Amino acid sequence: IAHGHGVRLHLFRHSVQAAFRAEMAGRYGAALRYLCTAKYQHRAMTPSLLAEDGWSGEDAVGRTLAERQHEIVEALAHTLAATWKLDARSTRVLEHLIERLLDDPDSAQPSSPSSRLLHDLERIVLEGQTEYYRLQPIIWLGSGGRRPLRLGLPFQGSLKALRALNAARIRLDRLPWSGAEVAYFSAPLRTLGDLIGQRLR
């Protein structure tokens, strides 16, 4: 039993550390997935731990995980809003969407629809912040260094963000949610599509 508990504790710590590293790298979707994994691992350990302490109720670790999840949900939604100049109402709906996705027990699984949708939202942020370029050493050498070595590709980030957004909209339509929920959560994604299209134009 002690060995099994030790393994579970090791896996829990690994998930928490992975969530921290992902958050520091700005990969908020991945951080949320790792936190979900940590929450389920912690719940699996909690009954035996509480029995040992003779206490029942929500423990400090559980509260801390819930608080960190809420903070990262806000970080993902607000960073997405800042990157694409999204309005306050759409940002709140995006927060609700992310929280709704995290209610799905499968959100801890990388291949689940809810987890993939979180990944799409993360990609929309990252692509909007990434500068793409192409190296042209032959042209640079031929010009004696007068032509730039790097050729900027200003449309690439927006195009890739638009592809990630389209994937997110398709995944949302396929989730087993009510039509009213899908319509509610689709609104900020449509607004995002308009904003990305404006930047491309």
47-97 tens-digit pLDDT: 655 445 444 445 788 889 999 999 999 999 999 999 999 999 999 999 999
pLDDT tens digit sequence for 17-38:
999 999 999 999 999 999 999 9
Yes or no: say if 15 and 108 are a contact pair by the CB < 8 Å rule.
no
Radius of gyration of the chain (CA): 21
**pLDDT at residue number 2:** 47
What is the average pLDDT across 140-149? 83
Please list, in sequence order, all residues whose beta carbon lies within 8 angstroms of the beta carbon of residue 107, skipping any fewer than 6 positions away. Answer: 32, 33, 36, 101, 114, 115, 118
SS3 sequence of the chain = CHHHHHHHHHHHHHHHHHHHHHHHCCCHHHHHHHHHHHHHHHHHHHHHHHHHHCCCCCCHHHHHHHHHHHHHHHHHHHHHHHHHCCCHHHHHHHHHHHHHHHCCHHHHCCCCHHHHHHHHHHHHHHHHHCCCEEECHHHHHHCCCCCCCEEECCCHHHHHHHHHHHHHHHHHHHCCCCHHHHHHHHHHHHHHHHHHHHHHC
What is the average pLDDT across 101-112? 88
**pLDDT at residue number 56:** 46
pLDDT band at 100 (very low <50, low <70, confident <90, very high): very high
